[in-house]
């Protein structure tokens, strides 16, 4: 199957500043891809190059089987990071205008606009000016504008920013619906929960370079070090703590399948226990419970946030944060977890 998007050695510089250092990327048709990365990492620049809004200095981009998005603009939907609406234009008129620019036949426009406004619960706002809407409503109008022409590829830059939980869920459902129709969806976000809930593939970019490009399930297994957290019952006497820990650690090491044990540390009152590759986590837990008195024992869940922090942390953090100049627009909101 031809990929929806393929980048080969794509590089982009703004004057002396290297925004994207040469990315190879392949996005399969029908997948939902989360585009992650800290501020100034080059996400927006990459997305803009995919959209042919910017052109790479070197490297090749193929979008929907064409040499560039220019040839397939009508089959792509794009929601930029900031709302991107005409403030003084009426909602209905704006959507109609976008339909025209996307080359939809004139007769199909009016019913389509009405249908979509109804779906996102904005049918009574058709005659309102965009500036009269709340931030979340504007975001919904922007989303409608990006998908109203039924594109095969949907690119959403920070689609969840400014949405309350109810509308965030509505947007997730809308994205999921597009996914079920077999459309390829790329979205960038800082909220890892949205990425975890929606995507089946993760691309992480840092300092203009791709640092992660894996399906979600592989990430879970790769970055799951088969770790069990175990909080033992202790006397609570600080003087005896070290001795207790040593004793409990020894007991844990006795258990078959245990590879490595990290003692508790400040803020983490549990032993962190790595299991051997061939060990069954369920069996190991059962044995651990018999080996020593425990207060709590659980399998450590790998969260995307941990992966994010680890990968970005490894390469020295965001680095470019706050740098002024031409990439100011490429930045995103502050790095935030849940």
Give the rounded distance of the alpha carbon of 116 from its chain centre.
Answer: 25
Provide, rounded to whole angstroms, the least separation between the CB of residue 207 and another protein: 19
Binding mask 11-50 for another protein (x = CB under 8 A): -------------------------------------x--
Angle at 43 between CA 170 and CA 330, to 5 degrees: 95
Binding mask 305-334 for another protein (x = CB under 8 A): -------------------xxx-xx-----
What the block records as the tokens of 119 is 């779906």
Interface with another protein, residue 192, by CB under 8 A: no
Cβ proximity to another protein: between 89 and 193 the closer is: 89
Cβ proximity to another protein: between 26 and 100 the closer is: 100
Provide, rounded to whole angstroms, the least separation between the CB of residue 18 and another protein: 16
Which residues are bridge partners to 14 per DSSP? 17
Measured distance CA(176)–CA(185) in Å, rounded: 9
Interface with another protein, residue 75, by CB under 8 A: no
Interface with another protein, residue 102, by CB under 8 A: yes
Cβ proximity to another protein: between 89 and 114 the closer is: 89
User: Could you tell me which stretch among 31-39, 79-87, 229-237, 305-313 binds another protein (CB under 8 A)?
Assistant: 79-87
Interface with another protein, residue 276, by CB under 8 A: no
Interface with another protein, residue 67, by CB under 8 A: no
Interface with another protein, residue 133, by CB under 8 A: no
Q: What are phi and psi of 100, to 5 degrees?
A: -65, -45
Interface positions with another protein (CB under 8 A): 48, 51, 53-54, 70, 73-74, 76-89, 97-98, 100-103, 142, 145-146, 324-326, 328-329
């Amino acid at each position: 199957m031809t990929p929806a998007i393929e980048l080969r050695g794509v590089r982009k510089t703004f004057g002396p500043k290297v925004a994207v250092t040469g990315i190879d990327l392949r996005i399969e048709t029908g997948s939902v891809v989360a585009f992650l990365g800290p501020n100034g990492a080059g996400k927006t620049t990459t997305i803009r190059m995919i959209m042919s809004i910017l052109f790479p200095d070197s490297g090749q981009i193929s979008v929907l089987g064409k040499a560039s998005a220019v040839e397939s603009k009508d089959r792509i939907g794009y929601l930029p990071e900031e709302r991107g609406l005409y403030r003084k234009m009426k909602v209905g008129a704006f959507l109609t205008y976008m339909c025209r620019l996307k080359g939809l036949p004139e007769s199909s426009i009016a019913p389509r606009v009405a249908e979509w406004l109804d779906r996102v619960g904005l049918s009574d706002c058709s005659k309102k000016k965009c500036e009269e809407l709340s931030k979340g409503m504007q975001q919904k109008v922007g989303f409608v504008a990006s998908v109203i022409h039924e594109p095969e590829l949907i690119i959403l830059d920070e689609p969840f920013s400014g949405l309350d939980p109810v509308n965030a869920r509505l947007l997730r459902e809308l994205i999921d619906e597009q996914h079920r129709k077999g459309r390829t969806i790329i979205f960038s976000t800082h909220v890892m929960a949205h990425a975890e809930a929606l995507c089946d593939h993760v691309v992480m970019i840092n300092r203009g370079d791709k640092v992660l490009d894996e399906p979600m399930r592989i990430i879970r297994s790769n970055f799951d070090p088969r770790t069990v957290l175990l909080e033992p019952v202790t006397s609570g006497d600080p003087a005896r703590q070290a001795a207790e820990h040593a004793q409990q650690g020894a007991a844990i090491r006795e258990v078959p399948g245990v590879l490595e044990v990290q003692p508790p540390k400040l803020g983490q009152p549990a032993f962190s226990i790595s299991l051997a590759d061939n060990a069954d986590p369920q069996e190991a837990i059962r044995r651990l419970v018999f080996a020593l008195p425990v207060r709590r024992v659980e399998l450590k869940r790998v969260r995307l946030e941990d992966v994010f922090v680890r990968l970005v942390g490894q390469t020295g953090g965001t680095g470019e944060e706050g740098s002024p100049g031409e990439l100011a627009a490429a930045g995103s909101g502050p790095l935030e977890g849940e």
